[in-house]
Structure 1
Amino acid sequence: MLQFFSETRFKLQEQEIHQDWLFACADKFNREISDLNYIFCSDNYLLKINQQHLNHNYYTDIISFDYSDEHSVSGDIFISVDRVADNAFEYNEFFDVELARVMAHGLLHLVGFKDKTEEEANEMRLMENECLALLYAFD
């Protein structure tokens, strides 16, 4: 099951397309989505989660809680729509494209990709781009 929730006024448009896309992304890595929740929230909402659960005192665009096993993808992905909007502006990108990139980023963490080192971050960016290409196939 794949669900979208919002702790703000934001509502993800074209949810069916995004569901199909995210299932296709997981399938690309031979994984199935079993129980995945995307929770769209504000900077302050995500900051509190960052402080309480990770002992970090800074804003971030995404936090993923991974409950996956080797075959299925399961977890909660919190996304700050405020941070996504700021990043889209900073990188001169459309909001929807930046949001999709962050959504893919969270899923990629749950299938096992990391981004702590420069090499891992480069691979993550390549995989994000591959996932974005899949999304454009659904549009």
Structure 2
Amino acid sequence: MEIDFRDDTNKITNEQMQLVEKLLQYAAETEEIDETAEMSVTFVNNEQIQIMNRDYRQKDAPTDVISFAMQEEGEEELAIVGEQLPIVLGDVIISVDKIKEQAEEYGHSFERELGFLSVHGLLHLLGYDHMTPEDEKVMFTKQEEILNEFGLQR
């Protein structure tokens, strides 16, 4: 899978970026994502993610991760079809401020929270959600399995 990274905060180290790359590649294999698929991961601060959360989700507060899935078709949207087109999964936006806050709150490492939010964002791109208790159980179980099997336990 092709992953385009962008760090608008300049706070993610090369080692942390490599960790996310390896983790997302592992998750892609686990979920049997086509190797030609593409996605992006952008790291921002609380101020930047609050603007996105307000503009796209009508929630005027910072959040930890937002996913913009490209494979979902909204009402009245036409499907784009073509044999040679790459599969573009979408974009994951992660707040570095929230990674730090939540790692401290949950008592685990920055890297664990970074991995958790990265996998969480990817699973949203794949159509997983947590709007109902049943869906939440499926999604959070999948996240924990991927993180634990990868070796990024709490």
What interval of TM-score do these two structures reach, taking the shorter chain for normalisation? 0.7 to 0.9
Alignment of 1:1-139 (within 5 A): 1-14=2-15, 15-32=17-34, 34-68=37-71, 72=87, 74-136=89-151
Name the TM-score, length of structure 2 as normaliser: 0.79
Structural RMSD (CA): 2.1
- Give the secondary-structure state (helix, strand or coil) at the position aligned to 1:31: coil
Task: After TM superposition, give the deviation of residue 12 of structure 1 in Å.
Answer: 4.2
Instruction: Give the TM-score taking structure 1 as reference length.
Output: 0.86
Percent identity reads: 27
Instruction: Give the paired residue count.
Output: 136
Q: Which runs of 5+ in 1 are unaligned?
A: none
Larger Rg: 2
Label 1:126 to 1:12 Cα distance change in 2 as closer, same or farther (>3 A).
Answer: farther
For residues 10 and 134 of structure 1, the distance between their equivalents in structure 2, rounded to whole angstroms, comes to 27
* Separation (CA, whole Å) in 1 of partners of 2:106 and 2:88: 30
Structure 2: runs of 5+ lacking an equivalent: 73-85
**Equivalent in the alignment of 2:79:** none
Aligned equivalents of 1:2 and 1:74: distance in 2? 10
Cα distance, 1:84–1:17 mapped onto 2, change above 3 Å: closer
Deviation of residue 64 (structure 1)?
0.3
Moved runs in structure 1, 4+ residues, more than 6 A? none
- SS of match in other structure, 2:60: coil
Q: Whose helix fraction is larger, Structure 1's or Structure 2's?
A: 1
Measure, in 1, the Cα distance between the counterparts of 2:141 and 2:7: 28
Shift of the alpha carbon at 1:99? 0.9
